Amino acid sequence: MNWKTKAAIQRTLARLPFGSEAAYYQLQRLGGNLRQPESPLEMFEHATEIFREIAKAGTPVEGARVLEVGTGHRIIMPIAFYLAGAASQISIDLFPILKRGLVMDSVRDLLGRADEVKTIFAAQGGTAAGERLARLTGAGDFDDLCARMRLEYRAPCDATATGVAAASVDIHFSYTVFEHIPRRVLVNILREGSRLISKNGLLCHHIDLSDHYSHADSRIGKINFLQFSGEEWARIDNPRFGYQNRLRAGDYREIYREAGQEVRAWLNLVDQPAVKAIRNGFALAPEYQGVNAEILATVGITALSKPAFT
């Protein structure tokens, strides 16, 4: 789908007085990201890479109490944490958009590919995946599945004031969520993470800084949205569906500093075609002009941190 058409449809749905969430979901099922959802196995491979980084930072996933910020439509990352040996989990979302049918479809898919699942987690060094996957066999519905996984789903829930007990979480986690949240809210989410995290715990957030419209429209690059001024982007984007804050790597560094986070690892993914485009005269909006090309072209960050006072 042409990215401008998709943006216009999202803006229209966001203005509906009621039923906008259901309409947006149907749009995604018909022609968006949920028409052919990303394979859980592909996400598991990335998850195990992140889990290795978490373990290197001193907080193994096995036996950990995990809080996920931003559940979304499915629970792929909570399933990955479960298969890697997490003890218990809470997954929260500001909006209750989880689709139980999609979750159960994913589980059935995984059970039918058990050998592939075990291979992925064995490469990470995990030994619990096979036994834990077998426990999911026979889960009758979403609630039964959560009970077997020791997973609690809370939505609506404000990630800046969760109501979860202090120092009760070992891993405070999100996956491609922060890019959809305004800057001022991100600072408060990280501060709440500091309150929640245990003495030996860790905050781990994987952030996708690319233009998400490029995921569905290959005709535009991963920094296409940087050509628009803030005023222009406000007319294109909308705060309800698909909102993108367009924050760059340097902005996130400042957010972590302001939130009182001590960074233990900061893993960047730089898109080289975007670097080349900038150096060849890509028309940047005034607010992005003069910024280092590699900072602007950083399209992925995995940030591992602890509260600076620990």
Give the pLDDT confidence score for residue 11 in this predicted structure.
80
Give the pLDDT confidence score for residue 282 in this predicted structure.
97
What residues pair up with 173 in beta bridges, in sequence order?
Answer: 68, 204
pLDDT band at 178 (very low <50, low <70, confident <90, very high): very high
Distance in angstroms (rounded) separating the CA atoms of residues 115 and 113: 6
Q: Phi/psi zone of residue 250: left (φ > 0), alpha (ψ -120 to 50 degrees), beta?
A: alpha
Give the pLDDT confidence score for residue 123 in this predicted structure.
78
Per-residue pLDDT averaged across 250-257, rounded?
A: 98
- pLDDT of residue 115 exceeding 80, the answer is yes
Angle between helical axes of 100-111 and 40-56 (0-180°, round to 10): 90
Q: What is the pLDDT of residues 26-45, one digit of tens each?
A: 556 555 555 556 678 999 99
Per-residue buried b or exposed e for 264-280, using 16+ beta carbons within 10 Å of the residue's own CB: beeeebebeebbebbee
Q: What is the pLDDT of residues 213-238, one digit of tens each?
A: 999 899 999 999 999 999 999 999 98
Distance in angstroms (rounded) separating the CA atoms of residues 92 and 72: 9
Percent of the chain at pLDDT above 70?
A: 92
